[in-house]
Structure 1
Amino acid sequence: MSKRNSQEAKREARERLKAERDKQAKRDKIRRQLTVGGSVLAILAIAGGIGFAIANNSGGGGDSTDWSAARDIVDNGAPATDDTDADAENAANYPTEAPANTSGDDSLTVQVGDPDAANTVTLYEDPRCPVCATFEQTMGETFKQGIEDGSYKVEFVFGTFLDNNFPGDGSKNAVSALGAALNVSPEAFLGFHEALYSADWHPNERTDGFTDEYLIEIGDTVPELKDNQDFQDAITNSTYATWAVQMGDKFNADPEVEGTPAVKINGQLIETPYTPESLDAALAAASQG
């Protein structure tokens, strides 16, 4: 799927962040106005139409991350607050450390396989992308085999641009969960990545399917992540939210990659291979070059 023009995407992202902050400020203001002794019905009556949004934002069945705060931390080192409408002490303050098993100066390189392998295959994917799901279901075993036999190492770069196209923040939340799996081990990451794109678990991209609960449910299908409290806590506590935002920025910064899935071999963009034979041909051409 195609990513939008970078300038348009940046403008829309700024507008979306402002709208999210305004909504959050209104929610915080209403919370302060509600009395502790009020009944549930009274609260709903006061809160009116934003009751559902408050429940979602507090983790009542969706994504518990305040993504506007995570963006502020990446951009400014701290979440933005408006003391007139929101208490500074209540602002989300997510960690900024990257998951274990990352590399690079910015800790945004996710590379699996023999570091001395002659070739590097770089995959560009968005978790919500349905074409990426088809791609992984078709080529995932081939990439896994290439990693295992040392033919190449695989680097993953994750976009989150589909969150601009459809409701919710499922792409960012899924990237954050991928970081939580990577923090456990590369094997856990690969297993979770495979399950996430599988026909059994990949949700419709038009729905905000990658909730905290659903991502934990996916994790329970991976031996290294089943009932893994560290993995689950990292999702519900948004431990790798800022890392997910930065990963999306890395994807957007590549001028050659215009959509997902995209594939590079040794830094050169190739036609996306949908058969093992086409991948082998591309690897052979890269070796000759």
Structure 2
Amino acid sequence: MSNKKSYKKSDEPSNAPSNTKQASFRRRALIGGCAAIAVAFAAGVGIATGTGTGTSSAEEADRPLKVPANSSGADGTLIAYGDSKAGTTIKVYEDLRCPYCGEFERKLGPTLKDMVDSGKVRVEFHLAAFLDKSLGGQGSKTSLAALGAALNESPDKFRSFHSVLFANQPAKETDDDFGSTANLLELADRVPGLRTPSFNKAVKEKTYAPWADKVADVFYDSDVTGTPTVKADGKKLTVIGENGKAVSPKDFTRQVDAAVAAE
């Protein structure tokens, strides 16, 4: 995938705080996204941020780490979906506010889910929150924490809510609708059985915000330089074309099949 159609992370700024991984990575949206941000600041226009119920950033910082059920790896930062015995692992790197990630999920997500459900592959999701730094707001982190609450319910609830979020991204990446827990709970209504008392409480109180920070830290430590990035057993797949649109399901399936055959 061309870097022209992805979100990139730049070099670490010399004055970045050494004790904060998120602060040491400045991410920028190339082409339309970056231009939109530049125009907004040049015009003296602030980036919109969502509002809603939930804890403050200070309260989140003091909260102990709580790891969702059904996660694995160090600090529960690995989010896997599918049969662990599947021969091929697809790693998907995304930010929930990234419009190109939304393009990938809306066009190719159902195809990938069919592959997982058939036992051909398993998926590992590696989610980031860098667009909060680039665009302002808390939408990436707050929605990631809400996904943690869904994962705590079940992997299937996580996968369904993940799809709902990408299908209902804000109209503009500068909008921070996902920063509102009220909006996230409304979207959760679209996943049958998700709105349990424990889920509602965890979203409202941002119980999994510290976990979301850990998940984002793992993303920053990876060698991935843009989103969406999709790898099949380490081989990068082309999922977004030069025109900024997702490749066809047929093309995507061909690439995955080639990776499976190489096993």
- Matched residue of 1:196: which SS? helix
Deviation at 1:7, TM superposition (A): 1.3
Q: How many residues end up aligned between the 2 structures?
A: 223
1:254 matched to 2:208? The reply is: no
Residues 56-75 of structure 1 aligned to structure 2 (within 5 Å): 61-62=51-52, 64-67=54-57, 70=60
Higher relative contact order (CA 8 A, sep 6+): 2
Query: Counterpart of 2:163?
Result: 194
- Matched residue of 1:155: which SS? strand
* CA distance 1:10–1:270, shift in 2 (3 Å): farther
Note the residue ranges of structure 1 that are not aligned, 5 or more in a row.
18-55, 71-78, 80-92
Do 1:113 and 1:150's aligned partners in 2 also have CA atoms closer than 8 Å? Answer: yes
Give the aligned CA root-mean-square deviation in angstroms.
2.5
Query: Counterpart of 2:39?
Result: none
- Matched residue of 2:162: which SS? helix
Residues 75-94 of structure 1 aligned to structure 2 (within 5 Å): 79=61, 93-94=62-63
Deviation at 1:269, TM superposition (A): 2.2
Query: Counterpart of 2:129?
Result: 160
CA distance in 2, matches of 1:61, 1:5: 29
Do 1:126 and 1:159's aligned partners in 2 also have CA atoms closer than 8 Å? Answer: yes
CA distance in 1, matches of 2:10, 2:157: 34
Do 1:3 and 1:161's aligned partners in 2 also have CA atoms closer than 8 Å? Answer: no
Structure with the bigger percentage of helix: 1
Do 1:95 and 1:239's aligned partners in 2 also have CA atoms closer than 8 Å? Answer: no
AA aligned to 2:250 is E
- Matched residue of 2:236: which SS? strand
Residues 195-214 of structure 1 aligned to structure 2 (within 5 Å): 195-198=164-167, 201-203=168-170, 204-210=172-178, 211-214=180-183
Deviation at 1:117, TM superposition (A): 0.5
Query: Counterpart of 1:47?
Result: none
CA distance in 2, matches of 1:113, 1:224: 20
AA aligned to 2:16 is R
1:271 matched to 2:244? The reply is: no
Larger radius of gyration: 1
- Matched residue of 2:90: which SS? strand
CA distance in 2, matches of 1:9, 1:135: 34
Residues 39-58 of structure 1 aligned to structure 2 (within 5 Å): none
1:131 matched to 2:100? The reply is: yes
Query: Counterpart of 2:213?
Result: 245
Identity %, equivalent residues = 36
* CA distance 1:278–1:67, shift in 2 (3 Å): farther
Do 1:63 and 1:173's aligned partners in 2 also have CA atoms closer than 8 Å? Answer: no
Do 2:7 and 2:98's aligned partners in 1 also have CA atoms closer than 8 Å? Answer: no
Deviation at 1:284, TM superposition (A): 2.9
Residues 163-174 of structure 1 aligned to structure 2 (within 5 Å): 163-174=132-143
CA distance in 2, matches of 1:123, 1:63: 30
CA distance in 2, matches of 1:68, 1:9: 26
1:179 matched to 2:148? The reply is: yes
* CA distance 1:121–1:10, shift in 2 (3 Å): farther
CA distance in 1, matches of 2:53, 2:142: 7
Query: Counterpart of 2:185?
Result: 216
- Matched residue of 1:121: which SS? strand
Instruction: State the TM-score, normalizing by the size of structure 1.
Output: 0.71
Do 2:75 and 2:214's aligned partners in 1 also have CA atoms closer than 8 Å? Answer: no
Query: Counterpart of 2:65?
Result: 96
CA distance in 1, matches of 2:230, 2:222: 12
Query: Counterpart of 1:5?
Result: 10
- Matched residue of 1:124: which SS? strand
Instruction: State the TM-score, normalizing by the size of structure 2.
Output: 0.77
Deviation at 1:12, TM superposition (A): 7.5
Deviation at 1:174, TM superposition (A): 0.6
* CA distance 1:61–1:206, shift in 2 (3 Å): closer
Deviations 1:98-150 (A, max 9, x none): 11101113311100111100111111110001111111110111011111111
* CA distance 1:63–1:260, shift in 2 (3 Å): farther
Deviation at 1:6, TM superposition (A): 4.7
Query: Counterpart of 1:234?
Result: 202
